[in-house]
Amino acid sequence: MKEIVIISGKGGTGKSSITGSLAVLAGRAVITDCDVDAADLHLLLNPTLIDRHDFISGHEAVIDQSTCISCGKCVELCRFDAIESSNGIFAVKPIGCEGCGVCVAFCPVEAISFPQSHCGEWYHSETATGSMFHARLKAGAENSGKLVSTVRSEAKKWAKQVDAHWIISDGPPGIGCPVISSITGTDLAVIVTEPTLSGKHDLERVLKLVKHFQIPAKVIINKRDLCESISDEIADLAESHGAEIIGRIPYSPVFNQAQNAGKPVVLFAPESRESVLIREIWEKIERLA
């Protein structure tokens, strides 16, 4: 069993569109959507929900109004301005609370409790291309990296049970905690970029990240004809970091058309040049992995 993750240095490069098509081509695969802050792979794969699980992580302060003496100590100590007061009544703003526990420790009358926080949910679903594990993090919730780890862990357990050949993960954009959780221990990172200045800059950052964690990396240039000169610069940049270009896909409205139809490109337009190029990319990945 091999685990590959498709990531990007920035959002909007076409990462999820390519992931959806690769999931179709993989055959016996378990699919994960590790972009828990803004999951969208389900829009292409139309999963049927099998199981739903709460994600409990971290803590959130809660003030007991019957015990609180309105001394204001918690407001004084909270460096995140997460406690508000109105007419002598103090309350914690859930989105502002970072769960540090300072207010809990220093409340003179122990009026603040510190229960675990319900940060989101993770799901096990079935799609026409295989089992899918995905999640949704609550708005403003922390611990997205832990939720990604949960999704990957459950996907691995299931992949072993069903003897899957592949785990294919749609990773989040950027270089932050959820990206690190998505790539750690994988067999291959496929980085999708686009020929813009921001695309090139963010590609360099993510190339440095995967190199730091010693993850083999390959690069796909999507919308490659937006700027041919920057496409060439990206190819040179990837080569300088030891990452081979395994695909150059031209800009095409077929991706938007496939998204509107709720299908991966290789199912929506199987004979299109874009589908041919994606199949060639998958054949390279199979040989590499």
Q: Are 200 and 224 in contact (CB under 8 A)?
A: no
Residue 33 has pLDDT above 90, yes or no: yes
Q: How confident is the model at residue 144 (pLDDT cuts 50, 70, 90)?
A: confident
Average pLDDT over residues 139-165: 92
Q: Do residues 240 and 150 share a domain?
A: yes
Answer yes or no: do 45 and 72 share one domain: no
203 shares its domain with 164: yes
Last residue of a domain, one of 96, 114, 132: 114
SS3 assignment, position 114: coil
Residues 26 and 109 in one domain: no
Q: So what's the pLDDT on residue 234?
A: 97
Residues 211 and 70 in one domain: no
How does pLDDT run across 162-171, given as a tens digit for each residue? 999 999 999 9
Question: If you average pLDDT over residues 49-58, what whole number do you get?
Answer: 93
Say which residue, 261 or 117, is predicted with more confidence. Answer: 261
Q: pLDDT-derived band of residue 186, with 50, 70 and 90 as boundaries?
A: very high
Residue 97 DSSP code: -
Contact 194, 57 (CB under 8 A): no
Q: What is the mean pLDDT of the chain?
A: 94
pLDDT at residue 287 above 90? Answer: no
| Chosen domain end from 114, 133, 152 | 114
Domains of the chain: total: 2
CATH of the domain at 98: 3.30.70.20
**Amino acid making up residue 175:** I
Residue 147's pLDDT band (cuts 50, 70, 90): very high
Instruction: CATH number of the domain at 181, please.
Output: 3.40.50.300
> Per-residue confidence at 40, pLDDT binned at 50, 70, 90?
very high
Burial 94-103 (b: 16+ CB within 10 A, else e): eeebebeebb
Same domain, 51 and 89: no
pLDDT of residue 289: 62
pLDDT surpassing 80 at residue 221: yes
Q: Does residue 251 share a domain with residue 168?
A: yes
Q: For residue range 94-141, what is the model confidence (pLDDT) as tens digits?
A: 888 888 999 999 999 999 999 988 889 999 999 999 999 999 998 877
pTM confidence score:
0.89
Domain containing 95 equals: 61-114
User: Could you tell me if 67 and 203 lie in one domain?
Assistant: no
Q: What is the separation of C-alpha 18 from the centre of its chain, rounded to a whole number of angstroms?
A: 14
Q: Do residues 145 and 248 share a domain? A: yes
Report the pLDDT value the prediction gives residue 139, as an integer from 0 to 100: 81
Same domain, 69 and 171: no
**Residue of 8, 2, 3, 21 whose CA lies nearest to 219:** 8
Q: Are residues 157 and 273 in the same domain?
A: yes
Q: Quickly state the pLDDT bin for 83 (edges 50, 70, 90).
A: very high
Take residue 189 and report the two structure tokens written for it: 């990172």
User: Which DSSP string corresponds to 130-195?
Assistant: EEEEEEEEPTT-S-HHHHHHHHHHHHHHHHHHHT-SEEEEEEEESSSHHHHHHHTT-SEEEEEE-S
Mean of pLDDT values over 27-50: 94
Pair 40, 139 in one domain: yes
* Domain final residue pick, 84, 99, 114: 114
